[in-house]
Amino acid sequence: MGSLAETQITPAKVSDEEANLFAMQLAGATVLPMVLTSALELDLLEIISKNVALPGGQLSPTEISSHLSTENPDAPVMVDRILRLLAAYSILTCSVRKLPDSVVERLYGLGPVCKYLVKSEDGVSLAALCHLNRDRVFMESWYHLKDAVLEGGIPFNKAFGMGAFEYQGSDPRFNKVFNNGMSNHTTIVMTKILETYKGFEGLSSLVDVGGGIGVTLRMIVSKHPHIKGILYDLPHVIEEAVSYPGIEHIGGDMFVNVPKADGIFMKWICHDWSDQHCLQFLKNCYDALPDNGNVIVAESILPVLPDSSLMTKEVVHMDCLMLAHNPGGKERTEKEFEALAKGSGFQGFQVVCRAYGTHIMEFLKKI
């Protein structure tokens, strides 16, 4: 058995002033995400990316503002204030140059994190996920979290009178925002996964359960054209999917049945649902597979003891997003994923690899 020191978090020693400043930062914690969202909506990072002369170059707020469709004379000053905040969090680089009459002007460039906030060669970035999480629809859930703790229920349902997935079917605008956020994240993560994971090579058919508009499956089939792909999701989601050679589209409900195939892929599906819900659709997956088949699960893995690493912060952030929006959705530890696999009939379980914060796990029907 581990010692107490191995099973608890010991806060770092800080001065009273540091504690006060941290408390003040927490009190204003909405500022960074909302300012970042505004910067992304204004395309400020894209403007810097496209208009610097050299990699690592910088532009002034006036130069950046000249690319905005505005006649507001205050725009450069407002942009400067937005970018100054982002520079304080190392999202942007910043330097100063002296102008005549001792005027100092700040210049801004892209920091390393902007690799994932500015569109890649594939035309994707995590900016789409920022827009999703700060959309007015998702934001409304947070105002009901306290009530859900005290009264029970799901914050999103309290806000809108229906579940998040049902709501998507009733709001085409938000459905598009959701699909865009998911597809951009998927492209980034799956590009990395396909560099290292070899489990698709032996499959002749693959169902992507909850596969959205088909981005994941298109990437898999593109790299492994011998695979017959089956995209499976709710009918209103499938309607938005684009046809692709080698992929069949099927609208349905994973809680009722799952199409048969050699393998099943699920990205960010288990974390949307409670253990009871997961066991229900995983048993349907079990029934759809041959004896040598498996479910390939792409999810974050929650540490038993939280720490201050970026990876842990990402997964506990995601866990609270599930708490706010989904019916029993949550992130899980490795042991909890293994319990889901065994509880739904699978004999084997293994964690195979990781891409950024997403782990690839295999639920093996027989071993």
Q: pLDDT, tens digit, for every residue of 189-201?
A: 999 999 999 999 9
Asked whether residue 24 falls in the same domain as residue 61, the answer is yes
User: Does a structural domain hold residue 1?
Assistant: no
Asked whether residue 203 falls in the same domain as residue 295, the answer is yes
- pLDDT, tens digit (0-9, with 9 covering 90-100), for 11-35: 678 899 999 999 999 999 999 999 9
Averaged pLDDT of the chain: 95
222: which strand partners?
none
Report d(CA 187, CA 193) in Å as an integer: 10
Q: Residue 293: what pLDDT?
A: 97
What is the model's pLDDT at position 4?
Answer: 46
CA atoms within 13 A on the CB side of 24: 6
Residue 46 is part of a domain; what is its CATH number? 1.10.10.10
Is 325 tagged catalytic? no
Q: Quick one: tokens of 295?
A: 């479910």
Assigned domain for 203 exists: yes
Band of residue 7 on the pLDDT scale cut at 50, 70, 90:
low
| Domain final residue, candidates 116, 150, 170 | 116
Cβ neighbours, 10 Å, residue 254: 24
235 and 311 share a domain? Answer: yes
How many domains is the chain partitioned into structurally? 2
Average of per-residue pLDDT across 92-99: 94
Same domain, 243 and 206: yes
If asked whether residues 275 and 239 sit together in one domain, one would say yes
Q: What is the pLDDT of residues 290-319, one digit of tens each?
A: 999 999 999 999 999 999 999 999 999 999
Please tell me whether residues 56 and 160 are part of one structural domain. Answer: no
Domain holding 149, by residue range, is 126-364
* Inside any domain, residue 232: yes
pLDDT in tens, 50-83: 999 888 899 999 999 999 999 999 999 999 999 9
In a domain, 4, yes or no: no
271, 277, 325, 359: which is the annotated catalytic residue?
271
Residue 285 shares a structural domain with residue 306:
yes
Give the mean model confidence (pLDDT) for residues 139-165: 97
Q: Is 259 found in the same domain as 141?
A: yes
Q: Which of 116, 140, 169 is the last residue of a domain?
A: 116
CATH code, domain with 333: 3.40.50.150
Percentage of residues of the chain with pLDDT beyond 90: 90
At 102, the pLDDT band (50, 70, 90 cuts) reads: confident
Is the pLDDT at 49 greater than 90? The verdict is yes
- Single out the residue in 84, 116, 148 at which a domain terminates: 116
Question: What dihedral do alpha carbons 192, 196, 197, 198 form, nearest 10°?
Answer: 140
Q: What are phi and psi of 301, to 5 degrees?
A: -115, 125
Reported as type and span, the H/E element at residue 173 is helix 172-196
